Amino acid sequence: MFSSSTTTNPYLMYSVTYCGEYPEAGAITKLRMFDPAKEDYFTVGDTPLSKELAKSRLVGSSHGWGVFISSRDSILISDYCNPSSSKSNPKMIPLPPRQHVDSCQTELVSGVAMSSSPEEEDFVAAVKFMGPLVGIYMPGQADEGHLRYLPTLEFGYLEQGKLMYSKRDQRFYMPCSGGHHLWSWSGIKSTDPQYHHLRFHNLPQFSISELQLLSSCYRTQQLVESPSGQRFLVKWYVQSLSRYVKSLMLRSVKFNFGGTKRFMVFREEEDMNMCYTEDIGDLCIFLGNNEPFCVKASSFPGLNPNSIYFLGEGYGEGYGVYDIATRTPRSFNPKSFSAFSDIADSPNGKVYVLPDWVPHWIPPSPL
Distance (Å, whole) CA 129 – CA 73: 13
Residue 364: band (very low, low, confident or very high) from pLDDT cuts 50, 70, 90: very high
Pairing verdict, β 199-201 and 273-277: parallel
Beta bridge partners of 293: 286
Q: What is the pLDDT of residues 58-92, one digit of tens each?
A: 999 999 999 998 876 788 899 999 988 877 788 99
Burial of 183 (0-12, 13-18, 19+ CB in 10 A): buried
C-alpha 70/C-alpha 105 separation (Å) is: 14
The set of residues, in sequence order, having a beta carbon less than 8 Å from that of 144 and lying 6+ positions away, is 73, 96, 97, 98, 99
Please measure the distance between the N-terminal and C-terminal CA atoms of the chain and give it in whole angstroms.
14
Q: What does residue 138 show for φ and ψ, rounded to 5 degrees?
A: -135, 135
Question: How are strands ordered across the β-sheet holding 307-312?
Answer: 293-296, 283-287, 307-312, 318-323, 328-331
pLDDT at 223 > cutoff 80: yes
CA separation for the pair 118, 62 (Å, rounded): 10
The whole-chain average pLDDT of the chain stands at: 83
Residue 289's pLDDT band (boundaries 50, 70, 90)? Answer: very high
Cα dihedral sign, 296-300-305-306: negative
Query: Model confidence over 155-197: pLDDT tens digits?
Result: 554 456 789 999 999 999 999 877 888 888 887 665 567 888 9
pTM, two decimal places:
0.90
Higher-pLDDT residue of 126, 160: 126
Q: E strands along 22-63, which residues? A: 28-35, 40-48, 57-62
Residue 249's pLDDT is 45
Helices (H) and strands (E) in the chain, counts: 5, 27
